[in-house]
Amino acid sequence: MTNDADLLGQFIREPATAAGQDAFATLVERHLNLVYSAALRQVRSAQLAEEISQSVFTQLACHAPALKAGTVLAAWLHRVTHHAAIDVLRREGRRQAREQIACEMSRLMDDNPVDWTRIEPILDQAVQSLSEADRAAIIMRFFENKSLREVGESLGTNEDAAQKRVSRALERLREHFVRHKITGAAAGLAAIISAHAVQAAPVGLSGTIVKGSLAVSIPVSTSLTTAKIIAMTTLQKVAVGVVLAGAAVTIAYQHHQFSQLQQQTEALVKQETGNQALNARITQLQQERDNATNELASLKEENAALKSRPAEVLKLRGEVGQLRGEKDQLGATTAISKMTATPEARQLLHDSQKIGMGIFYKQFAEKMKLTPEQTEKFNDLLADNIMQQIDDVTAALRDKTPSDQLNQKFAGENTSLDQKIQELLGADSLTQYKDYTKNLLSSLTAQQFQSSFTGSDAEKAAKAEQLRQAIQQESQSTLANASLPPDYQTLPILNLVNIASEDQANQSLNIMEGIYQRVIANASYLSPDEITKLRSFLDKAVANNKAALSMNRTLMAPISSQ
C-alpha cells in the first residue's frame, strides 16, 4: 500500500492531473474517518463535523507543499481538526448565547408553543411564499445555520441589516402559520426550524470533500483569501441586556481574539451542559404552571356543582385558596430567577458575565500589563459585582424599592469592589480602572466607528481619537450642567439602576442622546458623508440601549406584573 508521503508527493507534483487528484482522493478516503470522528466528538453535530472535515482537507490541499518532510499526516490532520473545531465551537457558542435565553423565554411565556408536526407539512410552502431575499435569509440562517455575518455577506449587506431581514422574514412566516391556525412566537419558530428543517445526513461525503478541496487548491494560490472576522458591539445591534448578552455584558462588544483557546472550549462545553439543565427546568416549570391552572379551573367547576353541599364546599374553598396561593407565589417569581433556579444555571450566567467582562476590559488589562492570574481574578471580581447587582435589581422590582435606596446600595457595593481591586492590583491601577470605566461611552463609540471613517489607517485613527475626545468633553460638560457626579456612567445599560427605574432610564438615555447630538453638531473635522453615517450609528446606539433596558426589566420583574 502506498504510504501517505508518496501520495502527498504525487499530489504536490501534479495537482492538476488525474494521477495527482487520485492520490489526494486516496488520502481523503484513508483519513476521513479520523478527521470526521475527531470533529464530531468535539462539536457533537454531524453537520458541523462535515463542515470541519471539508475545511481540514481544504487546508491540506492548499498547504500540502509547505508540510515539512517527515510530517506524520494523521497527526497533522488531527491537530488541524482540533483547531478548526475550536473555531466552530467559538462561533456557535456566540450565536447560541445570543439566541438561547430569548428562545427559552419565548417557550416559557408562550401558552401555544410551536409544534413541529403541525408546521412540517406546510413549512416549504411558507418559505416559498416569502420574497426572494427573505427566503434566502431564512434558508441560510435556519436551514444552513449560518451566522448573521455570513447571511449579510451573502446578501451584500452587513450583520445589522441581516438581523433585521431575518426578523422580518420570521414574522412573515409566523403570520403564514397563523393563517393556518398554527400559533406561536417568532423566537420559538426560529428554534424549531433550526432543530428540524434539515435532518438527513449527506450522502457521498468523501467525494464531495475531494471535489471541493481540489477546486480550491488547483487554481493559483494568490486567489485564496482569508475571511475577515468582524468585531461588533451592541452599539451596532440590539442586545438582550447585561444579564443575557451571551458571553458578554449587554453593551460589551464581540471581539475576535480570545486567549487560551482550550479554556474557551471547556467554557462552551460547560455552557452547553448548563443549557440542557436550563431547558429541563423550564419544561418542568411550564408543566407545573399548566397543572396548577388546569386544576384550579377544574375545582371552580366543581365548586359550582357543590353549592348545595356546604361541607364539601368548605373543603373545596380551602383547596382553591391553597392553589391560588401557589399561583400567586409563582407569579411573584421572575423570569431570570426561574432561569437561574439551579446552581449550575446560575454559574453559567456568572461565567458568561466573566467572559464578557474579560472582553470588555481587555484593553485595560493590556494597558496595565496584568498577568494572566491577575486578569482572571480581576474578571471574577467584575462578574461577582454584576451578579450581585442583578439580584439587587430583581429584588427592587419585586419590592418596589425607591431608586435612591438602590443607588445607595450600589454605591456601597461599588466601594467594596474598588477596595478589592486595589488589594489585587494596587492604588494606581484602581485609579486607571475608574478612569477607564467612566469613559467607556467615548472609547467604545470611537473604537467601533473607526472603520467607517474614510482615508488611510492613520487618518481613520486620528479621526477616531478626535471623536473620542469630543464625546469625552461633551460628557463632562453635560454631567456638570446636570449636577451629576463626574464618574456618572453615561452608557445607560451599564448602570443597572436604569433597569429598576424607568424614570432614571429615560434620564440616562436623554443624556446619552444629548451628548451624541452635540458631538455631531460640532464634528467639523468629518465629511458630510461621515457625519451621516455617524448620526445613523449613534441613533442605533441609543435605540439599542433602550431596547436592552426594556428587555432586562421584563426578565427581572415579577411575572405577575407583566
Per-residue pLDDT of the chain (562 residues; tens, 9 = 90+): 788 899 999 999 988 888 889 999 999 999 999 999 989 988 888 888 999 999 999 999 988 898 988 888 888 999 999 999 998 888 887 776 666 554 544 444 444 455 778 888 888 888 888 988 898 888 888 887 888 888 888 888 898 888 889 889 988 888 888 888 887 666 677 877 877 776 554 556 666 666 666 555 444 332 223 222 223 333 333 333 344 333 333 333 333 333 444 555 455 556 555 556 666 666 676 677 677 667 666 666 666 655 555 565 566 566 666 656 655 554 456 666 665 667 777 887 888 788 878 888 988 999 899 999 999 999 999 999 998 989 898 888 888 888 888 888 888 999 999 999 999 999 999 999 999 998 999 988 998 899 899 999 999 999 999 999 999 999 999 999 999 999 899 999 888 889 988 888 999 999 999 999 999 999 998 999 999 999 999 999 999 888 888 888 888 877 555 5
Task: Assess contact for 264 and 90: CB atoms under 8 A.
Answer: yes
Nearest to 86 by CA among 220, 289, 221, 267: 267
Burial class (CB in 10 A: 0-12, 13-18, 19+), 550: middle
User: All 3 cell numbers of residue 131?
Assistant: 420574497
- Distance CA(270)–CA(83), nearest Å, equals 18
User: All 3 cell numbers of residue 2?
Assistant: 502506498
Alpha-carbon separation of residue 390 from 5, 241, 556 (angstroms) = 59, 11, 8
Task: Assess contact for 344 and 273: CB atoms under 8 A.
Answer: yes
CA angle 454, 455, 456 (to 5 degrees): 135
Q: Facing residues of 334 across strands?
A: 558
Burial class (CB in 10 A: 0-12, 13-18, 19+), 168: middle
Task: Assess contact for 534 and 449: CB atoms under 8 A.
Answer: yes
Predicted TM-score (pTM) of this structure:
0.46
Burial 393-426 (b: 16+ CB within 10 A, else e): bbebbbeebebeebeebbeeeeeebeebbeebbe
